[in-house]
């Protein structure tokens, strides 16, 4: 039986938004600006910065249900939903999520769209509620063992290491006929280097991942086939051929 593994980044890959920014954009322009000013160079926010700004949101009087409601109105494109549900229904594909978002954000969005059972596992940053305050932590805590990635992954998570560990726990690469990775950001580059010739990277056009592949891919031995996309219907088209 053909057995595929589809690995999704979440922000700007599964959904057409950055979840860390979305909550503040919905609830407070002032705090959205605060997040922008605090975040480090590059397109990704460290969870520490998001957590700090969530404290500001709490101090400003925003409640748990307001945060959850903001997440519930974040759309999943109908074509993306069709792409994943149609492929999952065939029974030959395992879905994995590797994301720099957090557990509460992703679980809330998936539940709202009836997709809670899509992913076999969601590997992301931990988060939990303490009353109306959402706490967001690091996948790799700052005071614990750190990854040794030299490819440029964020300190809180090496997606390449995470993919390797997941594969090792599920029979290895050879258990899957094909691995597809859907991503957009610079931290999605590392897992592509753990994939084989014939595997596929579905790379969002004009984003950081495309730039890294074009600049560094050949030099560091990136072997995957690259499919560029910029709209969800193209993912649906790619998945329909599996």
45 secondary structure, DSSP code: P
Instruction: Please calculate the CA angle 21-25-28 and round it to the nearest 5 degrees.
Output: 120
Q: Which residues contact 180 (CB under 8 A, 6 or more apart)?
A: 4, 5, 6, 7, 199, 200, 201, 202, 238, 242
- As annotated, the active-site residues are 9, 11
Catalogue all structural domains in the chain, each as residue range(s) with its CATH number. Answer: 4-17+76-240 (3.40.50.1000), 19-72 (no CATH)
| Cα 157 from chain centroid (whole Å) | 11
| Residue pLDDT, tens place only, 188-212 | 999 999 999 999 999 999 999 999 9
Q: Does pLDDT of 43 surpass 60? A: no
- What's the half-sphere exposure (Cβ side, CA atoms, 13 Å) at 212? 24
| Higher pLDDT among residues 142 and 60, named by residue | 60
Establish whether 161 is an annotated binding residue: no
pLDDT confidence of 45, banded at 50, 70, 90? confident
132 is annotated as contributing to ligand binding: no
**172: number of Cβ within 10 Å:** 10
């Amino acid at each position: 039986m053909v057995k595929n593994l589809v690995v999704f980044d979440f922000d700007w890959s599964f959904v057409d938004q950055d979840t860390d920014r979305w909550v503040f954009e919905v609830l407070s322009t002032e705090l959205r600006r605060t997040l922008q000013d605090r975040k480090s160079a590059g397109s990704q926010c460290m969870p520490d910065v998001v957590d700090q700004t969530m404290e500001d949101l709490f101090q400003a009087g925003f409640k748990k249900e307001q945060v959850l409601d903001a997440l519930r109105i974040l759309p999943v494109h109908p074509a993306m939903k069709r792409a994943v549900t149609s492929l999952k229904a065939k029974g030959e594909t395992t879905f994995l999520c590797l994301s720099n978002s957090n557990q509460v954000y992703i679980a809330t969005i998936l539940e709202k769209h009836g997709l809670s059972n899509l992913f076999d596992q969601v590997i992301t940053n931990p988060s939990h509620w303490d009353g109306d305050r959402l706490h967001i932590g690091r996948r790799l805590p700052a005071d614990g063992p750190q990854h040794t990635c030299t490819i440029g992954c964020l300190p809180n998570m090496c997606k390449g290491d995470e993919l390797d560990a997941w594969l090792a726990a599920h029979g290895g690469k050879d258990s899957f006929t094909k691995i597809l990775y859907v991503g957009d950001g610079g931290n999605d580059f590392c897992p592509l280097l753990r994939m084989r010739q014939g595997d596929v990277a579905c790379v969002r056009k004009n984003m950081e991942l495309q730039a890294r592949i074009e600049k560094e891919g050949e030099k560091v031995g990136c072997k995957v086939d690259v499919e560029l996309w910029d709209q969800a219907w193209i993912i649906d088209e790619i998945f329909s051929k599996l």
